[in-house]
Amino acid sequence: MKTIVWKIDPAIEHAPQIKAAAELLKGNETVAFPTETVYGLGANATNDQAVQKIFAAKGRPSDNPLIVHIAKVQQLEDLVEEVPEHARKLMEAFWPGPLTIILKKKGRLSDSATAGLDSVGIRMPDHPIALALIAAADLPIAAPSANLSGKPSPTTAGHVANDLTGRISGIVDGGETGVGLESTVVDCTRAVPVILRPGGVTREELMAVVGEVREDVALHNPEEAPKAPGMKYTHYAPDAPFILMDGSVRFIQAAIDQSKSEGKKTGVLTTEENKDAYTADTVISCGSRKDLATVAAGIYDALRTFDESGTDVIYGEVFPYEGIGDAIMNRLMKAAGHHLMKE
């Protein structure tokens, strides 16, 4: 399959490229596009064959439902039974933005998109290209992250091209995404909203709008079965064993030295503040501790870079479970297969 790439500068006229990409979506083909979180791989959410092309291109397990993306709130009418009060408040506060809301589904949606569930996750992305593309296609667009299943989510069109060239019909290249981690997934089918996946909107921000918010117990207990089917897969894992290190630079350097003495090529995932303090084969800073949003934005690119460097073992620093730190630690713990060493 030939993969067309449209390079778009959002600041200049891009209507013709958006129209061409939208035509592919209308023709039930797959197109990757940027959102404010990560790149998505889109297809017509109302057509089963179109949606199955997403699962085939990614190698995604068919029991893992997709998020349906919309450009206007009116699109909800055809997709969900009802919008409860707390869900409406969350939409008003955070859409367009990195929040996926699970509601009871109805009607037109492909059963493959929702993996046969009676609910659907919906989000309105906060990115001019994503919104323009969805509006031009005039369809609800099913879109998981545009990576091969198991790889870190893509934050650049280059990441998408590395994983999916020849497997999808098009890539709209709109530059780097902003948040760098996926949306927060909140189940609004219950009386109290439940966070199934931490992400770009923090627990604190949700609570400020709707008061009480629960968290899926599986988020802090790897023995429990998660409510979001996708959360059970060992996503985001780099090729080399990855170990999270809760302790000082000295503690982490001692572990690096031990691995070196065993003849291993070592890597460390660190931050601007500590990057000059380590001696390892590959030292990658993913951002600054003073602004955890920079860490969120840099983490997936850092994990992909380790794969290219041929490291045998990677040690990673930990972050506080506050604000966007919740989502950062969720993804790092998954990447590490919950392998954490304490000083």
Position 182 contacts ligand TXA (CB under 6 A): yes
Q: Give yes or no for residue 76 binding ligand TXA (CB under 6 A).
A: no
Rounded least distance, CB 201 to ligand TXA, Å: 10
User: The tokens of 13 are what?
Assistant: 């006229």
Q: Which of 183, 270, 282, 294 binds ligand TXA (CB under 6 A)?
A: 183
The two beta strands, 4-7 and 141-142, are unpaired
Query: 185 is in the binding site of which of Mg ion, ligand TXA, none (Cβ under 5 to 8 A by kind)?
Result: ligand TXA
Identify which of residues 106 and 289 has a Cβ nearer to ligand TXA in the complex: 106
Residue of 324, 150, 296, 168 whose CA lies nearest to 237: 150
43 is a contact residue toward ligand TXA (CB under 6 A): no
Crossing angle of the two packed helices 85-94 and 203-210, in degrees rounded to 10: 120
Residue type, 74: Q
Q: Which of residues 103-162 bind Mg ion (CB under 5 A)?
A: 145
The residue among 14 and 127 lying less far from ligand TXA, judged by its C-beta, is 127
Among 57, 124, 131, 143, binds ligand TXA (CB under 6 A): 143
Q: How far apart are CA 22 and CA 35, in angstroms?
A: 15
How far, CA to CA in Å, does 180 sit from each of 98, 141, 152, 327? 10, 20, 11, 11
- The option from Mg ion, ligand TXA, none interacting with 143 (CB < 5 to 8 A, set by class) reads ligand TXA
Per rule CB under 6 A, is residue 177 in the interface with ligand TXA?
no
Q: Taken in order 343, 282, 146, 53, is the CA torsion positive or negative?
A: negative
- In this structure, what are the phi and psi dihedrals at residue 314, rounded to the nearest 5 degrees? -125, 130
Q: How far is the CB of 144 from Mg ion (least distance, A)?
A: 5
Say which entry of Mg ion, ligand TXA, none residue 66 contacts (CB below 5 to 8 A, set by partner kind): ligand TXA
Taking the complex as a whole, how short is the minimal distance between the CB of residue 81 and ligand TXA, in angstroms?
A: 13
How many Å apart are CA 167 and CA 30, to the nearest integer? 9
Residue 119 interacts, among ligand TXA, Mg ion, none and using kind-specific CB cut-offs from 5 to 8 Å, with ligand TXA
Please report whether residue 328 would count as binding ligand TXA according to CB under 6 A.
no
Q: Which is nearer to Mg ion, 44 or 100 (CB)?
A: 100
The CB-of-43 to Mg ion minimum distance in angstroms stands at: 15
Specify the stretch interacting with ligand TXA by CB under 6 A; choose among 61-69, 80-88, 265-273, 279-287: 61-69
* CA 205/CA 43 separation, integer angstroms: 31
Question: Is position 177 an interface residue for Mg ion (rule: CB under 5 A)?
Answer: no
User: Is there a contact between 216 and 114 (Cβ–Cβ < 8 Å)?
Assistant: no
State which of residues 84, 158, 229, 247 lies at the interface with ligand TXA (CB under 6 A): 229
Which residue of 17, 100, 110, 156 would you call a contact of ligand TXA, by CB under 6 A?
100
Query: Does 271 participate in binding Mg ion (rule CB under 5 A)?
Result: no
Quote the CA–CA distance of 207 and 239 in Å, as a whole number. Answer: 37
Residues 6+ apart with CB under 8 A from 152: 159, 235, 236, 238, 299, 300, 303, 304, 335
CB 19 within 8 A of CB 136: yes
- Segment interacting with ligand TXA (CB under 6 A) among 167-175, 222-230, 245-253, 335-343: 222-230
- Is 197 a binding residue for ligand TXA by CB under 6 A? The answer is yes
Distance of alpha carbon 47 from alpha carbon 25, whole angstroms? 10
Q: Residue 184 interacts with Mg ion (CB under 5 A)?
A: no
DSSP string, 139-192: S-EE--BSS-TTSPPPSSHHHHHHHHTTTSSEEEE----SS-SPPEEEE-SSSS
> What distance, in Å, lies between the first and last C-alpha atoms of the chain?
51
Residues forming contacts to ligand TXA in the complex (CB under 6 A) are 35, 37-38, 40, 64-67, 98, 100, 102, 114, 117, 119-121, 123, 125, 143-145, 182-183, 185, 196-197, 227-231
Residues forming contacts to Mg ion in the complex (CB under 5 A) are 145
